């Protein structure tokens, strides 16, 4: 992609083409040329971080109940892919199209994918487990040599949260990791560039950007970057590019990459 273009991140691995948060989805998005991928992390009953968006298993697997009530071994036995429309259209089975992905598994795969990639990790439910999610996240980053950002690192990690509390914990645990403050509404001061706990990137939802077209330019004027989610169609894409977004988080990385290449 040409310099000056926004970065393209595959939301949940690119949830449109393949089942979200599966290794098959992440690898396809990177093959298609995404600059990076986004994943949500949750804690299992036995303390593993797994890449799952919903609090419950029901929508994206053949299991039921809360992710946090299951052990990793119980989750590993579930099918996380067959619910998705792609399951009916695949000509050949894809590797890990149906398996749960752990954060460790994702970090391992990204480190070995043959080029430098960006990874946005969103911590879910930061208050329910004390600081356990952030502690385990930072421990995993240390295990993979990714806790200290370095220009040559194969995976450039950024941590995101809607909760300022989570950003504070990350800053205390690993102060140099960049953070994104995710926004659905605009808290006081944020539009003038005051983000909590050292965050330098704002992450507004597309609904907020539509409602406040001056937001991205104002954040830019305040010296901040903006990553917008979830941008999946032409109208929104044109608007956020025109307003100067630095990153686009999308379920349709191929579509966004093609449109940006044509622009």
Contact mark string toward ligand G3P, 66..105, x via CB under 6 A: ----------------------------------------
Q: Does 251 bind Ca ion (CB under 5 A)?
A: no
Going residue by residue from 103 to 122, which x/- string records binding to ligand G3P, judged by CB under 6 A?
-------------------x
Using DSSP's 3-state secondary structure scheme, residue 226 falls into: strand
Q: Per rule CB under 6 A, is residue 255 in the interface with ligand G3P?
A: no
Residue closer to ligand G3P (CB basis): 145 or 207 = 207
Q: Does 122 bind Ca ion (CB under 5 A)?
A: yes
Exposure of 104 in the CB half-sphere (CA atoms within 13 A): 10
CB of 29 to ligand G3P, least distance (A): 14
Number of alpha helices (DSSP H) and beta strands (DSSP E) in the chain: 10, 9
Q: Binding to Ca ion by residue 134, rule CB under 5 A?
A: no
Closest CA to 109 of 174, 28, 177, 33: 28
For the bound state, the minimum distance from the C-beta of residue 250 to Ca ion, rounded and expressed in Å, comes to 12
Site string for ligand G3P, 192-211 (x = CB under 6 A): -----------x--------
Q: Is 40 in the site for Ca ion (CB under 5 A)?
A: yes
* CB neighbour burial string for 157-188, b if at least 16 within 10 angstroms, e if fewer: bbbbbbbebbbbbbbebbeebbbbbbbeeeee
107: nearest Cα among 94, 125, 120, 126: 120
Q: Is 62 exposed, middle or buried (0-12, 13-18, 19+ CB in 10 A)?
A: middle
Q: Which does 249 bind (CB under 5 to 8 A by kind): Ca ion, ligand G3P, none?
A: ligand G3P
Number of chain positions touching Ca ion (CB under 5 A) = 2
Tokens representing 256 are 């966004």
Q: Answer yes or no whether residue 38 interacts with ligand G3P by CB under 6 A.
A: yes
Using DSSP, state whether 51 is helix, strand or coil. Answer: strand
Q: State which residue, 40 or 251, has the beta carbon closest to Ca ion.
A: 40
At its nearest, how many Å lie between ligand G3P and the CB of residue 126? Answer: 13
Q: Reply yes or no on whether 97 is catalytic.
A: no
What's the full length of the chain, in residues? 263
- Measured CA to CA, the distance from residue 23 to residue 102 in angstroms comes to 10
Determine which residue in the list 94, 107, 133, 182 makes contact with ligand G3P, applying CB under 6 A.
182
Q: Is 53 a catalytic residue?
A: yes
Q: Binding partner of residue 229 among ligand G3P, Ca ion, none, CB under 5 to 8 Å per kind? A: ligand G3P
CB closer to ligand G3P, 38 vs 134: 38
Q: Hey, which bits of 154-246 come out as E strands?
A: 155-161, 179-183, 201-204, 225-228
Tokens of 232: 């999946």
Q: How far apart are CA 24 and CA 98, in angstroms?
A: 8
Binding site for ligand G3P (CB under 6 A): 11, 38, 40, 53, 122, 182, 203, 229, 249
């Amino acid at each position: 992609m040409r310099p000056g273009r926004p970065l393209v991140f595959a939301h949940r691995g690119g949830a449109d083409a393949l089942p979200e948060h599966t290794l098959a989805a992440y690898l396809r998005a990177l093959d298609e040329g995404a600059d990076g991928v986004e994943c949500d992390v949750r804690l299992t009953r036995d303390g593993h971080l797994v890449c799952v968006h919903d609090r419950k298993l029901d929508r994206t697997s053949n299991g039921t109940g809360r992710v946090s009530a299951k052990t990793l071994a119980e989750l590993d036995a579930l099918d996380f892919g067959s619910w998705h429309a792609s399951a009916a259209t695949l000509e050949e089975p894809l590797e890990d199209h149906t398996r749960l992905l752990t954060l460790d598994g994702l970090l391992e795969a990204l480190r070995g994918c043959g080029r430098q990639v960006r990874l946005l990790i969103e911590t879910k439910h930061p208050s329910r487990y004390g600081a356990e999610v952030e502690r385990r996240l930072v421990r995993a980053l240390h295990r993979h040599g990714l806790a200290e950002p370095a220009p040559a690192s194969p995976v450039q990690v950024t941590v995101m949260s809607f909760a300022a509390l989570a950003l504070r914990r990350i800053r205390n645990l690993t102060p140099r990791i960049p953070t994104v403050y995710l926004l659905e509404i605009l808290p006081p001061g944020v539009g003038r560039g005051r983000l909590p706990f050292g965050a330098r990137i704002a992450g507004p939802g597309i609904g907020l950007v539509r409602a406040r077209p001056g937001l991205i330019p104002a954040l830019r004027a305040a010296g901040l970057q903006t990553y917008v989610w979830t941008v999946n169609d032409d109208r929104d894409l044109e608007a956020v590019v025109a307003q100067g977004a630095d990153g686009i988080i999308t379920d349709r990385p191929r579509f966004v990459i093609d449109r940006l290449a044509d622009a």
